[in-house]
A and B are shown apart, each in its own frame.
Chain A
Amino acid sequence: MTSELVKLTAAAMADALTAREVSARELTQAHLDRTAAVDGAVHSYLHVDAEGALAAADVVDAARAQGRDLHRLAGVPIAVKDVMATAGLPTTCGSRILEGWVPPYDATLVSRIKAAGMPILGKTNMDEFAMGSSTEHSAYGPSHNPWDLERIPGGSGGGSSSVIASFQAPLAIGTDTGGSIRQPAAVTGTCGTKPTYGGVSRYGLVALASSLDQAGPCARTVLDTALLHEVIAGHDPLDSTSIDAPVPACVTAAQRADVRGMRIGIVRELTGEGFQAGVQQRFDEAVAHLVDAGAEVVEVSCASFTYALAAYYLILPSEASSNLAKFDAMRYGLRVWPEGLEDASAEQVMAATRDAGFGDEVKRRIILGTYALSSGYYDAYYGSAQKARRLIADDFAKAFQSADVLVSPTAPTTAFQLGDKLDDPMAMYLNDIATIPANLAGVPGMSLPSGLAPEDGLPTGFQILAPAMADERLYAVGSALEARLTAAWGGQLLDRAPALPTSEVAR
Chain B
Amino acid sequence: MSTTTSTDAILGWDETLAAYEPVMGLEVHVELGTATKMFCGCPTTFGADPNTQVCPVCLGLPGALPVVNEKGVESAIRIGLALNCEIAPWCRFARKNYFYPDMPKNFQTSQYDEPIAFGGHLDVELEDGTVYRVEIERAHMEEDTGKSLHVGGATGRIHGATHSLVDYNRAGIPLIEIVTKPMFGAGERAPEIARAYVATLRDLLRALDVSDVKMEQGSMRCDVNVSLRPKGTEKLGTRTETKNVNSLRSVERAVRYEMQRHAAVLASGGSIVQETRHWHEDTGLTTAGRIKSDAEDYRYFPEPDLVPVAPTEEAVEALRASLPEPPAQRRKRLQAAYGFSDLEMRDAINAGLLDLIEETVAAGASASAARKWWSGEIARRANGEGVDVPTYAAQLAVTPAQVAELEGLVTSGRLNDAMARQVWEGVLAGEGSPTQVADARGLQLVRDSGALEAAVDAVIAANPDVAQKIREGKVQAVGALIGQVMREMRGQGDAAAAREVIMARLGS
Contacts and interface: CB of A to CB of B under 8 A. Distances in A.
Interface in A315-353: 318-319, 321-322, 325-328, 330-332, 346-347, 350
A346 B150 CA distance: 12
Contact of B107 (A211, A322, A378): A322
B68 interface: yes
A240 B105 contact: no
User: How extensive is the interface on chain B, given as a class?
Assistant: 20 to 34
A118 interface: no
Interface string B63-94: 11111100000000000000000000000000
Interface in B278-311: 297, 299-301, 304-307
B442 interface: no
B299 A237 contact: no
A328 B105 CA distance: 9
Contact of A204 (B63, B97, B101, B166): B63
Interface in A84-106: 84-85, 91, 93, 98, 101, 103-105
A207 interface: yes
Interface stretch (B4-12, B54-62, B402-410): B54-62
B99 A347 contact: yes
A6 B301 CA distance: 47
A98 B166 CA distance: 21
Interface string A255-269: 000000000000000
Contacts of A474: none
B61 A103 contact: yes
Interface residues of A, number: 44
Contact of B64 (A203, A331, A375): A203
B106 interface: yes
Contacts of A85: 56, 61-63
Contacts of A93: 62
A282 interface: no
B105 A238 contact: no
Contact of B105 (A84, A326, A332): A326
A85 B60 CA distance: 13
B364 interface: no
A318 B107 CA distance: 13
A350 B105 CA distance: 13
A485 interface: no
B304 A211 contact: yes
Nearest to A371: B299
Contacts of A306: none
A409 B186 CA distance: 70
B66 A240 contact: yes
A94 to B, nearest CB: 13
Interface in A1-39: none
Interface in B87-130: 95, 97, 99, 101, 104-107
Contacts of A332: 61-62
B62 A378 contact: no
Interface string A286-322: 0000000000000000000000000000000011011
A325 B97 contact: yes
A331 B63 CA distance: 14
B271 interface: no
B299 A105 contact: no
B434 to A, nearest CB: 50
A205 B62 CA distance: 8
Given A240-B65, A325-B105, A330-B101, A318 B60 contact: no
Contacts of B299: 321-322, 370, 373-375, 378
Given A202-B65, A325-B106, A328-B99, A378 B305 contact: no
Contacts of B300: 373
A331 B104 contact: yes
A206 interface: yes
Given A325-B99, A325-B105, A347-B99, A104 B56 contact: yes
Contacts of B65: 202-203, 238-240
Contacts of A202: 65
B101 A104 contact: no
Contact of A206 (B62, B104, B301): B62
Contacts of A374: 297, 299
B97 A331 contact: no
B110 to A, nearest CB: 13
B164 interface: yes
B298 to A, nearest CB: 8
Interface string A100-133: 0101110100000000000000000000000000
Contacts of B66: 240
A378 B104 contact: no
Contacts of A203: 63-65
Contact of A240 (B63, B106, B305): B305
A304 to B, nearest CB: 21
Given A104-B56, A325-B106, A330-B166, A318 B63 contact: no
Given A103-B56, A105-B56, A374-B299, 19 more contacts: A84-B63, A103-B63, A104-B61, A105-B61, A203-B65, A207-B63, A209-B304, A210-B304, A237-B67, A240-B307, A319-B304, A322-B97, A327-B62, A330-B101, A331-B60, A347-B99, A375-B299, A378-B299, A382-B301
Interface of B: 56, 59-68, 95, 97, 99, 101, 104-107, 164, 166, 297, 299-301, 304-307
Interface of A: 84-85, 91, 93, 98, 101, 103-105, 107, 202-207, 209-211, 237-241, 318-319, 321-322, 325-328, 330-332, 346-347, 350, 370, 373-375, 378, 382
10 contacts: A84-B63, A104-B56, A204-B64, A207-B305, A210-B305, A237-B67, A241-B305, A322-B299, A326-B60, A378-B301
